Amino acid sequence: MDRRGALLFEYNPLPMTAMTVSGILLLTIVTLAAPVAFPPELFGVVCFAPLGAAVVYAVLQSPRPTRICTGGIEPSRPLWRRLVRAPAFFAWQDVRNVYPAAYEISGAAMSPFASSAGTLVHTGLGLELADGRRIVVKFTPGSIRAFRGESPGFTYAMASVREAFEGLRRPLVSDVRPYSDGEVLEMHKEARRPLVGLAAIVYAFFLPPAILAAILYALAASGVRADLPLLLAAIVIALVPPIASMEYTIQKSRRRNWLLAELAKHEEAARART
């Protein structure tokens, strides 16, 4: 007998993310414009390499459907993970907790402007396995008409998981740290805070031109010729603020998603007790 059991729900993810499509379109435009922008001696096969790499990346990321069965779940996996034969199916008996888990859509965590507002956060299925691994099964909608966390895919998936666990006569969350009411309020308060203030974002992303200009002016004033190594070093220094801002935002985003996951587990455990 197949340990998967009866199929309860199947979800087909988008074949490509919005960031992948945008990257391919941008590289296509740049590649087509290259013969016009560059002299013939500089245009060659190498100019097609970035576009080819983007297409290969998109193919390797092509997903399989997410399947929720009475005996377990088969999360969507990209082609490259299927090629390396990564684990595909997780039986419910090997899953400690299932809960709504927050995640940001592709590229949002890399944008402090988008991520700081918290408007691009969606909800997926958080799986905590018996061996300690955590997996987020994503249900990103194809179009975002309004910023809402729970997509139809997630709603149907969560209902299917509840049906499967009811058949097993076990709660969705069986291992959760207890929190007091005061701790829950503080966690909610922290999760609602913007990741980065607007002033910090503006400074981080508008400082690089000023830093680069100041370095070039200082070199010219001191009589030092700005050769290629110095220019590259100046560019690297100028990029420090936005890179630091993105890294800080990503860390804060991970903290917020962890808080939301803990709150979701706490609420699910409280729901099971009532």
The pLDDT tens digits of the residues spanning 10-26 come to 999 988 887 788 889 99
CB proximity list for 244: less than 8 A, separation 6 or greater: 204
Which range is least confidently modeled, 82-86, 94-98, 109-113?
109-113
**For residue 175, what are the domain limits?**
7-181
50, 24 Cβ separation under 8 angstroms: no
Does residue 214 lie in a domain region? no
Question: Does residue 42 surpass a pLDDT of 80?
Answer: no
Does residue 213 lie in a domain region? no
Question: Does residue 120 surpass a pLDDT of 70?
Answer: no
Beta bridge partners of 10: 67
Question: Does residue 5 surpass a pLDDT of 60?
Answer: yes
The larger pLDDT score, comparing residue 3 to residue 107, is at: 3
| Angstrom distance (rounded) from CA 65 to CA 11 | 5
Does residue 71 lie in a domain region? yes
Query: How far, in Å, are 22, 47, 52, 54 from residue 27 at the CA level?
Result: 9, 10, 9, 8
Per-residue confidence (pLDDT) for residue 146, from 0 to 100: 47
Give mean pLDDT, residues 131-142.
Answer: 85
51, 31 Cβ separation under 8 angstroms: yes
Does residue 218 lie in a domain region? no
Amino acid, single-letter form, for residue 181: D
Per-residue confidence (pLDDT) for residue 269, from 0 to 100: 87
The larger pLDDT score, comparing residue 183 to residue 1, is at: 183
Structure tokens at 157: 């998936």
Does residue 173 lie in a domain region? yes
**If you average pLDDT over every residue of the chain, what do you get?**
84
Does residue 203 lie in a domain region? no
Question: Does residue 106 surpass a pLDDT of 80?
Answer: no
Does residue 270 lie in a domain region? no
The model's pLDDT over 46-81, given as tens digits with 9 standing for 90+, comes to 778 889 999 999 999 999 999 999 999 999 999 988
Q: How many domains does the chain have?
A: 1
Give mean pLDDT, residues 92-98.
Answer: 93
